[in-house]
Amino acid sequence: MSFFQMQPAVAILKTFTSAEAFVSWLETDEQTGFILLLDIQLPGKTGVESLPKIKMLLPDLDVIILTTFEETDMIFKALSAGACSYVSKRSSLQKIKEAVEVVAQGGSYMSPAIARKIADFYAPKKHHQLSDRQLEIVKGIVNGKSYKMIANDLFISLDTVRSHIKNIYNTLEINSKAELIRKSYDNEL
């Protein structure tokens, strides 16, 4: 707080200990033209749970999520709920100030680690290289065949099927048929 109080370009309007307290203040006060720094982990409703109500009351409000949560699903929940920026609490105070300045100028700011997670999410997924024989075995499993049925269909021994299964699991870094079937349906093979 004291860091921001010493910044001429930044004025702290008010602080709240919960999202509900902030929403209550919004409902009774006519303040506009500010940027909200919002933590996800708050007592009562989380910051993300409160965002739809906040955005309903002030649709043009710019919201910067400031949090320790860096999981991809949480990032997308916050952005989908109306946040324009997502900053890690591990960022320096200077970077947090930079985020406020970028948003004040109409931009959006993401901590580098957060931006990387978003980029990785949209990047083409790495496909694992399975041999033609391994793909035939996967097809048999996806079609509900037993290892013995697959062995008979491919004219190979049951031990060879088991060996291929072990290699498939290692290549795909999985441990179960369910994961193998999911990867197959998600076109990750």
Half-sphere exposure of 12 (CA within 13 A, CB side): 12
Average pLDDT, rounded, for the chain: 90
Counting every residue written for the chain, the total comes to: 189
Give the pLDDT score at 65.
Answer: 96
Distances (CA, A) of 89 to 9, 37, 63, 95: 21, 11, 15, 10
The average pLDDT across 149-177 equals 94
Q: Which band of pLDDT confidence, cut at 50, 70 and 90, is reported for residue 12? A: confident
Of 3-17, 33-47, 62-76, the range with the lowest mean pLDDT is 3-17
Residue, of 18 and 173, whose pLDDT is higher: 18
Segment 155-176 mean pLDDT: 94
Whether 78 and 40 have beta carbons less than 8 Å apart is answered as: yes
Lowest mean pLDDT among 29-33, 90-94, 109-113, 180-184: 29-33
- Percent share of the chain, pLDDT over 90: 68
Domain boundaries, the chain: 2-122, 132-185
pLDDT at position 124 is 73
Q: What is the mean pLDDT of residues 91-119?
A: 92
Compare 125 and 74 and report the one with higher pLDDT.
74
Going by CATH, does the domain composed of 132-185 fall within 1.10.443.10? no
In angstroms, the CA 10 to CA 122 distance is 34
Whether 102 and 85 have beta carbons less than 8 Å apart is answered as yes
Are the beta carbons of 68 and 91 closer than 8 angstroms?
no
Topology at the third CATH level for domain 2-122 = Rossmann fold (3.40.50)
